[in-house]
Structure 1
Amino acid sequence: MSLILWTVLGYLLGSIPFGIVIARALGLGDLRKIGSGNIGATNVLRTGNKPAALATLLLDSGKGAIAVLLARHFAGETAAIMAGGAAFLGHCFPVWLGFKGGKGVATFLGTLIALNWPLGLIACGIWLLTALVSRISSLSALMAAALSPVFAWALGRTDLILVCLFMAALIFLRHKANIARLMDGSEPRIGKKG
């Protein structure tokens, strides 16, 4: 029963669309009608408002981390893993937006940092290195997601491999259009206004 409760709470927390809330509060318009239409930090950055993009990044990553930390404190490590995965799922398919959400990258990274900070920092490092080289956010996300189960195994956290695989699979699914654009060379660069 406790696992179900923390899974539901994690999902509801992950469902909060901070990008849309921040964009509306700052008068940037409906984020779903700007740039890629995504509700995450990369699309907020396309409005040209860097502080809003940073706030979205921190809040979207924070909701995954908070779900993990609360569940761990009150119910243990298994509940933390379930809550983190559910928060990620909530961001991708939020109940408040008719299950049409974001791509989950910030929430993925925040969840990993809270679950195992070395693994989270490695994933962030992979994202950053790929972004510095390619200037393509989607490619950075795909690389970090794809390698996260490998590094979970390398760090001896075999209990995290399944949740890493789950999040990686959803990230690839949510980036299907991006993958097509990467293949034909039309994927936009970081910071390009939509």
Structure 2
Amino acid sequence: MEIFLIPVLSYLIGSFSSAYVVGRLFKKIDIRNHGSGNAGATNALRIMGKKLGVLTFLMDFAKGIIAVLIGLGLGGYSGGMSAALFAVLGHNWPIFFKFKGGKGIATTIAALAMLQFPITLISVIAGVVTAAISRYVSLGSLVFLTVLFALTFTGMSDGGAITSIITFILMILGYYRHKGNIKRLIKGNENKIGR
């Protein structure tokens, strides 16, 4: 039963679009019609300002924590990893919002921090440093995902093969959702922090 319940519950939790709800409640806008059109924390920050951007991030963060707690409770570590994946899938392609969601970084950070805190922390630091130096949030996100996957092959990760498999899928999902950013990074016209 848990093998079906965990993915379904986690996907539905992930499908709660924080950026959309915050935009509607506080700014009377559909965030998907502004900026990059992405229903995520970065676009929320650019369009709605720091306070609402941070609120959106925290809500996306909470989704990952709630989903993983349910997954751990119902299915142990494997259930937690499954919950992490499906919460991100829900965030990226939310069933309640015509499958137009965000890029899943905040939810990924929260979910993996619950399961593999040391490697997640190191990966976040690598991503933040990259973003601070380059001033590209997207590049920082891509570095975070890549380092996270790479660290699953070190002694700092104790989750076995399932951790590497799920983090690899999350990395691919993240790269796919950032495909437009990657093209702009290559061309040199990606939006920088503060622009």
For Structure 1 versus Structure 2, the TM-score category normalised by the shorter chain is over 0.9
Match of 1:49 in 2: 49
Moved segments of 4+, more than 6 Å: none
Show the counterpart of 1:74: 74
**Which residue matches 2:35?**
35
CA contact (8 A) 1:42 1:190 kept: no
**Is 2:67–2:87's contact at 8 Å kept on the other side of the alignment?**
yes
SS of residue in 2 equivalent to 1:164:
helix
Contact 1:68–1:84 under 8 Å retained in 2: yes
- SS of 1:42's partner is helix
The residue type paired with residue 167 of structure 1 is L
* Residue of structure 2 equivalent to 1:133: 133
Counterpart in 2 of 1:91?
91
Q: Report deviation, 1:30.
A: 1.4
**Letter of the 2:110 counterpart:** G
Higher relative contact order (CA 8 A, sep 6+): 1
Match of 1:178, as an amino acid?
Answer: N
After TM superposition, give the deviation of residue 28 of structure 1 in Å: 5.3
TM-score w.r.t. the length of structure 2 is 0.94
Give the whole-Å Cα distance in 1 for the aligned partners of 2:123 and 2:24: 30
State the partner residue of 1:106.
Answer: 106
> Kindly, what percent of the aligned residue pairs are identical?
37
Q: 1:143 to 1:47 in 2, by over 3 A?
A: same
Aligned match of 1:121: 121
Alignment check: 8 A CA contact 2:27 2:48 kept: no
Match of 1:43, as an amino acid? N
Q: CA deviation at 1:76?
A: 1.0
1:151 is aligned to 151
User: What is the aligned partner in structure 2 of residue 181 from structure 1?
Assistant: 184
Partners of 1:28 and 1:47 within 8 A in 2: no
For 1:99, the aligned partner's letter is F
- Deviation digits for residues 2-54 of structure 1, max 9, x if unmatched? 12101110000001000110111111521011110111111011125211000
Gaps of 5+ in 2: none
In structure 2, how many angstroms separate the alpha carbons of the residues matched to 1:85 and 1:168? 11
Shift of 1:164: 0.3
Q: 1:102 to 1:48 in 2, by over 3 A?
A: closer
Number of equivalent positions: 192
Note if contact 1:136-1:190 (Cα within 8 Å) is conserved in structure 2: yes
The separation in 2 between residues aligned to 1:133 and 1:146, in whole angstroms, is 17
- SS of aligned partner of 1:187: coil
Question: Paired residue for 2:167?
Answer: 164
Q: Which moved more, 1:9-18 or 1:142-151?
A: 142-151
Question: Do the aligned residues in 2 keep the contact of 1:15 with 1:95 (CA within 8 Å)?
Answer: yes
Query: Which amino acid in 2 is paired with 1:179?
Result: I
**Alignment root-mean-square deviation, CA:** 1.3
Q: CA contact under 8 A between 2:15 and 2:95: conserved in structure 1?
A: yes
Q: 1:123 to 1:28 in 2, by over 3 A?
A: farther
